[in-house]
A and B are shown apart, each in its own frame.
Chain A
Amino acid sequence: MTEFLRVLTDNWSLFADGFSNTVQLFLYSAVGSLVLGTLLGAFRVSPIPALRWFGATYVNIVRNTPLTLVFAFLVFAVPKLDVNIDYFPSACIALTVYTAAFVCEVVRSGVNTVAPGQAEAARAIGMTFDQVLGQVILPQAVRAMVPPLMSVMIAMLKNTTIAAGFSVLEAGAIPAYMSERGEPQFIVLIWITIGFLILITPLVLLQRSLERKWAVSR
């Protein structure tokens, strides 16, 4: 047991740096992918065919590309075009671009869960387009979107570890450093698992509380 704790305390700064980078990577990419994904989702449900086509094509290409390849593209191929970005921003962009495709699908199916009769009833009492969207469609769509969005975000948190393979010191990179220092791999991995569980907990709690709050009205 003392050995177990010692692995953490002796290497505290490495763990702290790694996980702090993981959290930053997660936060930047979460914001980025929610914004980009919502925009793409709006494209997917828009009445304009060209926008729908663009959204669908993006989703099809990105969703069917392994994340490692998206990373490799940004970290190795893009710099060849004389665009120089650091590893960390590259990793954020890769995660954003990849996760946005999943967010887009969540947004699209969320809007589609709202029965067409809801918009019709709203129009029939004289609501304008903005009111129909803001008062009736979006509040209901968001309720349907929260649970799958949380799953997408949890998956993205785990996906941050892929950045380790591309020179970003995040939590996924800790084992390599630790084995250089001769620390027992098994204990290191358990600590990393515990770290991820701690990071995921607030997401799960948020999801639960939102689901409970909205349970009655659906």
Chain B
Amino acid sequence: MDRVADEALIVLEKVNKWFGPLHVLQDVNLSVARGEVVVVIGPSGSGKSTLCRAINRLEPIDSGTITFDGQPLPAEGRALARLRSEVGMVFQSFNLFAHKTILQNVMLGPVKVRKEKPAAVRDRAMGLLERVGIASQADKYPAQLSGGQQQRVAIARALAMQPKALLFDEPTSALDPEMVGEVLDVMTSLAAEGMTMVVVTHEMGFARHAANRVVFMADGQLVEEAAPAEFFANPKTERARDFLSKILTH
């Protein structure tokens, strides 16, 4: 873990969030260092997605503070948009813009949000598509690609903004099993290059090999956190043991 700098990039302090009567995030404290890869696991409904979405304020919180790169998250408007442009997000259902080609999907953010010159962005976008192995499909539309390919494009789209951190919410859960590997490969190489990542996933292999830290959530609380080897070998809480026994036997 020597590449993990001490400096925290994402800090959540006493974060609370309710959906009506449902207390989905309960006094959550979490600090993610620059270059660190944190995997979030936990049973369905435990608040993993909500946690992930709170970090770029797609989901506003009710109390507590979240700081990104030293700044508290802006409440709204242009400042919030700027923050979001620095935090990439990859969704379970890809969410590529259906009316744009693959290349346009990757270029849209830099051109419209950052107002960069299209010619320069195009080169960078093609480089990113090359990197995720989809350059030959640049002029197709999302619906013409497989799920695995679409998710790799979604990663390229997030990278095109040159983000300081990437959030992944179950990026492989909607994929056919044979396509999971190609997406995890891209994520693993990003992790190896020192990208700061928060990854909600059920892929225990990825958690073991690519994560610096595993965070276990249940009922809106961060129940346990540890280095992957330690977490999988001896989970401290009953809930984590129970959860692991269920998913590892599958």
Asked, given contacts A131-B113, A135-B108, whether A124 binds B89 with beta carbons under 8 Å apart, the answer is yes
For the residues of A in contact with B, the DSSP-based class is helix
B37 in the interface (beta carbon within 8 A): no
B-side interface residues, number (CB < 8 Å): 32
Number of contact residues on A: which range applies? 20 to 34
Q: How far is the CA of A120 from the CA of B91 in the complex (A)?
A: 9
Q: How far is the CA of A41 from the CA of B106 in the complex (A)?
A: 31
- A217/B98 in contact, CB under 8 A: yes
A124's partner among B84, B99, B100, B143 (CB-CB below 8 A) is B84
| Total A-B Cβ pairs within 8 A | 75
A-contact bits for B122-155, CB 8 A (1 contact / 0 none):
0000000000000000000101100000000010
A118's partner among B82, B88, B98, B158 (CB-CB below 8 A) is B98
- A128/B98 in contact, CB under 8 A: no
Q: How far is the CA of A143 from the CA of B112 in the complex (A)?
A: 22
B84's partner among A118, A123, A135, A218 (CB-CB below 8 A) is A123
Considering only CB atoms, which chain B residue lies closest to A135 in the complex?
B112
Q: How far is the CA of A79 from the CA of B109 in the complex (A)?
A: 56
- A217/B141 in contact, CB under 8 A: yes
Q: How far is the CA of A139 from the CA of B108 in the complex (A)?
A: 14
List chain A residues, Cβ under 8 A from B100.
217
In this complex, the member of B88, B95, B143 whose beta carbon has the largest number of chain A beta carbons within 10 angstroms is B95
B11 to chain A, nearest CB (A): 20
Q: How far is the CA of A217 from the CA of B104 in the complex (A)?
A: 12
A51 in the interface (beta carbon within 8 A): no
Asked, given contacts A117-B91, A117-B93, A216-B141, whether A125 binds B85 with beta carbons under 8 Å apart, the answer is yes
Asked, given contacts A217-B143, A218-B143, whether A122 binds B58 with beta carbons under 8 Å apart, the answer is no
B99's partner among A128, A131, A217 (CB-CB below 8 A) is A217
Asked, given contacts A117-B93, A125-B157, whether A218 binds B113 with beta carbons under 8 Å apart, the answer is no
List chain A residues, Cβ under 8 A from B82.
126
Q: How far is the CA of A125 from the CA of B112 in the complex (A)?
A: 10
Q: How far is the CA of A122 from the CA of B112 in the complex (A)?
A: 11
A136 in the interface (beta carbon within 8 A): yes
Considering only CB atoms, which chain A residue lies closest to B78 in the complex?
A128
- A118/B58 in contact, CB under 8 A: no
List chain A residues, Cβ under 8 A from B183.
none
Q: How far is the CA of A115 from the CA of B246 in the complex (A)?
A: 33
A85 in the interface (beta carbon within 8 A): no
Q: How far is the CA of A85 from the CA of B218 in the complex (A)?
A: 69
A121 in the interface (beta carbon within 8 A): yes
Q: How far is the CA of A87 from the CA of B78 in the complex (A)?
A: 52
B81's partner among A127, A140, A214 (CB-CB below 8 A) is A127
A-contact bits for B92-126, CB 8 A (1 contact / 0 none):
01011111100000001100110000000000000
Q: How far is the CA of A218 from the CA of B96 in the complex (A)?
A: 12
Considering only CB atoms, which chain A residue lies closest to B76 in the complex?
A129
A-contact bits for B57-87, CB 8 A (1 contact / 0 none):
0100000000000000000011001111111
Q: How far is the CA of A118 from the CA of B81 in the complex (A)?
A: 16
| A-B pairs, 7 with minimum CB distance | A126-B85, A121-B95, A117-B95, A125-B109, A124-B89, A126-B84, A126-B113
The residues of B with any CB-CB pair to A shorter than 8 Å are: 56, 58, 77-78, 81-89, 91, 93, 95-100, 108-109, 112-113, 141, 143-144, 154, 157-158, 161
